[in-house]
Structure 1
Amino acid sequence: MFFKKERQFAFSPVSGKVINLEDVNDDVFSKKMMGEGVAIIPDEMQIVSPFNCTVTAVLDSNHAIGLTTDDGIEVIVHVGLDTVNLKGRGFKCFVNEGDIVKVGDQLLAFDKDVIEAEGYDTITMLVVSNTNSKQIVIMENLDLAKAGQTKIIEFI
């Protein structure tokens, strides 16, 4: 008897307009140096978990967070371009390394006004930093995504 493997998805970590990673105004992301993924122009300032996983990295600047699923898929949620330079100003983290989170659990919050007043973009990237031998399929025909609800990447 054959068992069909359950499809696995990453949900949007933030609500907003979905764009191709190639269209991000930063070579590290647009040239996929960190990995395959998507970008979202946020219309809310809450970052949530894209799947059930473990928090594996929280940067001191709170602008990015690393997550790993039980079967080894590793992702980075990165808020903004060059926002590491803010050294945490305008960001608040709600989790610690080692925490287990579920889809939709709040991870970070950011203050768009503070970030943009300093001249930084708040575009948010969801990047798969390893493929874990799985094919990564970006969901097609996405325009607007809802945090924790819109399927944004499928792992096959």
Structure 2
Amino acid sequence: MLRVLSPVAGHSLAVRDIPDPVFAKGLVGPGVAIRPRDGTQTAVAPISGTLAKLHPHAFVVVDEEGHAVLVHLGVDTVHMQGEGFHLIAHERDHVRAGDEVVSWDPAYVERTGRSTVCAVVVLDCDPVTVDKQAVGVDVDTQELLFEVDC
């Protein structure tokens, strides 16, 4: 069972509530969305593993069994070209769940007209295997967000 921690603090939502059709339809993978709390936040690794991909707006952590979790900070934030984000970790770093990865400012993202909703999804996993009990609740950084059996 893969235990996925919340990379940011906020209010959890269903993936279908992400204002992006690719995420909302579950095409990227199953998981949970988070509307972040106000104020600058530091996104943390949701699982232990290697930072396989790291961009200012998104990162993927792959564990020893090959499970990959994508954290996407906001919607269409790739177009911000790193503004409002600060990388703390480096691609290919080994991280433990809860290690700091990216500092970002959701209010800045919102001022650019983009949604701050974050996707936390497991890549290449059957959607029916995700425990959705964390949907519709306030979560703190590093709190258990969901479990998945891929």
> Do both share a fold (TM > 0.5)?
yes
Judged with a 3 Å threshold, the aligned counterparts in structure 2 of structure 1 residues 141 and 73 are, in CA distance, closer, same or farther, namely closer
Does the Cα contact within 8 Å between 2:42 and 2:100 map onto a contact in 1?
A: yes
Q: What does residue range 92-131 of structure 1 map to in structure 2 within 5 Å?
A: 92-131=86-125
Pick from 110, 130, 154: which aligns with 2:147?
154
Question: Number of residue pairs matched?
Answer: 146
Structure 1 residue matching 2:33: 3-state secondary structure:
strand
Identity %: 30
Amino acid at match of 1:151: L
CA distance in structure 2 between the partners assigned to 1:134 and 1:113 by the alignment: 31
Q: TM-score, normalised by structure 2?
A: 0.90
Aligned to 1:67: 61
Aligned to 1:36: 30
Q: What does residue range 11-26 of structure 1 map to in structure 2 within 5 Å?
A: 11-26=5-20
Does the Cα contact within 8 Å between 2:46 and 2:69 map onto a contact in 1?
A: no
Pick from 39, 46, 49: which aligns with 1:50?
46
Does the Cα contact within 8 Å between 2:134 and 2:145 map onto a contact in 1?
A: no
CA distance in structure 2 between the partners assigned to 1:12 and 1:77 by the alignment: 10
- Return structure 1 stretches of 4+ with deviation > 2 angstroms: 133-136
Gaps of 5+ in 1: 1-6
Deviations 1:60-99 (A, max 9, x none): xx10001101111011100111111110000011111110
Structure 2 residue matching 1:138: 3-state secondary structure:
coil
Deviations 1:3-34 (A, max 9, x none): xxxx4311111111000001111101100111
Cα RMSD (Å) of the superposition?
1.8
Does the Cα contact within 8 Å between 1:38 and 1:138 map onto a contact in 2?
A: no
Shift of residue 139 of structure 1? 3.7
Structure 2 residue matching 1:17: 3-state secondary structure:
strand
Judged with a 3 Å threshold, the aligned counterparts in structure 2 of structure 1 residues 151 and 87 are, in CA distance, closer, same or farther, namely same
Judged with a 3 Å threshold, the aligned counterparts in structure 2 of structure 1 residues 141 and 128 are, in CA distance, closer, same or farther, namely closer
